[in-house]
Structure 1
Amino acid sequence: MALSTSDFQALRDYIRRICGMSIPDGKEYLIEQRLGPIARKHGCADLSEFRNRMLGYDSFQLRDEVIDAITTRETCFFRDEHPFEALRELVLPRLTACAPTGQGGVDSEEKTVSVWCVASASGQEPYSLAMLIDEFAGSRHQGAGLNAFSILATDISNEAIRRARRGIYRRAEIERGLSAERIEAYVSRCDESYQICPRLRGHVEFRRCNLAEPFVTLGRFDLVLCRNVLIYFDPPMQRSVIEQIDLMLNPGGYLLLGAAESLYGVPVTLESLRHRDTILYRKPVAAT
């Protein structure tokens, strides 16, 4: 379906308004490819008619379909690897220094380490994190276990959330990022597919979250993974997201962005630090 200049402008403005995603000039093909099938499904002769329906009385009914179609959900287990090395070697030891053992008899003074995966897509990132935490706890023989952590994973796509909760993946998805040892420990066959074990699935809470709307009420966190999210937003939207995350991070908490993302130009309280190939951001602890 061909897309006129006025339709392109109206549709991309609508997309930014409902989910924050910024579509640059010259990306008409992206809207044609992703929204064209929805337009045909709903009997629209062209994208101009679809535009009128989206901006009119059918907007609410079409909204979720547009979000599912236009958002990018590229992900894999242990994506990029080196950020997870930084988490294992630097962040987890620091965050678990005062965390409970997860083995009962926890002192009331001890706290749960709260983690948020901001755009979890089909769930590979939060499940990777749960595996990492479980392995980290096992290697220490004592101290914080998986039960000492709460893991919240959010996404704007309802379909992505449903799939992540099921934790069922194709063989190619499982083998992309998971070692044979991790597959044996955390994955089981499910008909012709593979499923994450119940223990990990039960430990990750999946919820819908639209970053284009206020989200500070989600809570306070010790670790936030917001990887490969900001690249889809324009500067004002990036600033809004980071400023809210800054408010939500506990003192001493960490923020991890994607390799192509930074906090440049955003006035926040976070300090940057490097661990090998990974840049992290940490919220200072107030002096006592």
Structure 2
Amino acid sequence: MKPDDFSLLATLLKDQSGLVLTTDKVYLLESRLMPVARQFSMKSLEELAQAIRLKKDSRIVPAVVEAMTTNESLFFRDMKPFDQLKRLVLPKLMETRQSTKRIRIWSAACSSGQEPYSISMMLREEKATFGAWKVEMLATDLAQNMIDRAKEGVYSQFEVQRGLPITMLVKYFKQEGDKWRVDPSLRENIQFRTYNLLHDLTPLGQFDVVFCRNVLIYFDQPTKTKVLEAIAKRMAPDGVLYLGGAETVLGISDKFQPIPGERGLYGLTQAVSGAKPATPTLNAAAGGR
């Protein structure tokens, strides 16, 4: 690949998705973008790059970004976050929201929907505890094709075998040939929406819980800082943020601090440090927000 073409594609992906590509990842561009080139009747990435330069077709850039975005996901991934949500996070939030009985959860970069559906299943399993509460979920992803798949809620045998207990498969899915479709009830409290984390997050509203797992690892440090600080502005004072096991806020943003003893779970700095005694934390309940 010509250096100019690589530079064009790398810059495009950085600007559009935050994905950082170095020159040793040329093979990745070639393996993922040649199908895109063929989709638009092109024989090479050089033709694809030239079409982007000339703005020949408005569908090309979204197709390139979607092809390069990693969409690895599975049901109840790592399990620990869902246990924390059930055991610790939601009960503490319920103590401070008795007047509204409303909690908002954001699944950022939800891919094909396994994460929000896992949360929905957990809520259904704990209906005796959370049944009277309105738990709303927003599930977003950069890729429209992933959001379309999430809305459809149809998964292969391989996908449902990854992390999903057999009892929940039987209870919440209906088999259709060699595929499995989620029960429509699991979608009742989920709004699926295409959204870019690099854009203004204000229109999304405020959240009590944000899942943004295994996303920051693809960004450079300035982009990580930008995204974390934007998320902090959209969180309730006593809200919590979930990151992936290989991710951290240390040295990246001073807006969050790890919640002691809870791997992958972060609170806003003032809440965790106790800088504002009236602000509830996971370790000490206080007044409502």
TM-score past 0.5 threshold? yes
Take 1:90 and 1:159, find their aligned partners in 2: how far apart are those partners? 34
The aligned counterpart of 2:253 is: 267
1:146 CA drift (Å):
7.3
1:158 CA drift (Å):
0.6
Superposition CA RMSD, Å: 1.8
Q: Structure 2 vs 1, CA of residues 159 and 240 (structure 1 numbering), >3 Å: closer, same or farther?
A: same
1:217 CA drift (Å):
2.1
Deviations 1:113-163 (A, max 9, x none): 00000000000000001111222333x4xxx32752000000011110011
The aligned counterpart of 1:158 is: 144
Deviations 1:172-208 (A, max 9, x none): 2112111121112211122331111111122211001
1:207-218 equivalence runs, <5 A: 207-218=193-204
Contact 2:94 2:101 in 1 (8 A): no
**2:225 is aligned with 1:235:** no
How many correspondences in the alignment?
273
Contact 2:228 2:253 in 1 (8 A): no
Take 1:93 and 1:99, find their aligned partners in 2: how far apart are those partners? 10
Contact 2:221 2:252 in 1 (8 A): no
Deviations 1:30-68 (A, max 9, x none): 100111121123232321221011122225221221122
The aligned counterpart of 2:267 is: 282
Take 2:244 and 2:141, find their aligned partners in 1: how far apart are those partners? 16
Deviations 1:58-87 (A, max 9, x none): 252212211221101000000111222222
Structure 1, unmatched stretches of 5+, are 101-108
Structure 2, unmatched stretches of 5+, are 279-289
Structure-1-length-normalised TM-score: 0.89
The aligned counterpart of 1:122 is: 112
The aligned counterpart of 1:106 is: none
Take 1:121 and 1:41, find their aligned partners in 2: how far apart are those partners? 22
Letter in 2 for 1:47: L
1:227 CA drift (Å):
0.1
Runs of 4+ in structure 1 over 6 Å off: none
1:6 CA drift (Å):
2.2
Q: What SS is found at the alignment partner of 2:24?
A: coil
Deviations 1:201-258 (A, max 9, x none): 2221100111222223211000000000001111111111000001111011000000
Contact 1:98 1:111 in 2 (8 A): no
Q: What SS is found at the alignment partner of 2:264?
A: strand
Take 1:63 and 1:171, find their aligned partners in 2: how far apart are those partners? 32
Q: What SS is found at the alignment partner of 1:60?
A: coil
Q: Structure 2 vs 1, CA of residues 267 and 38 (structure 1 numbering), >3 Å: closer, same or farther?
A: closer
1:160-239 equivalence runs, <5 A: 160-239=146-225
Take 1:93 and 1:186, find their aligned partners in 2: how far apart are those partners? 24
Structure-2-length-normalised TM-score: 0.89
Pick aligned residue for 1:13 from 11, 17, 42: 11
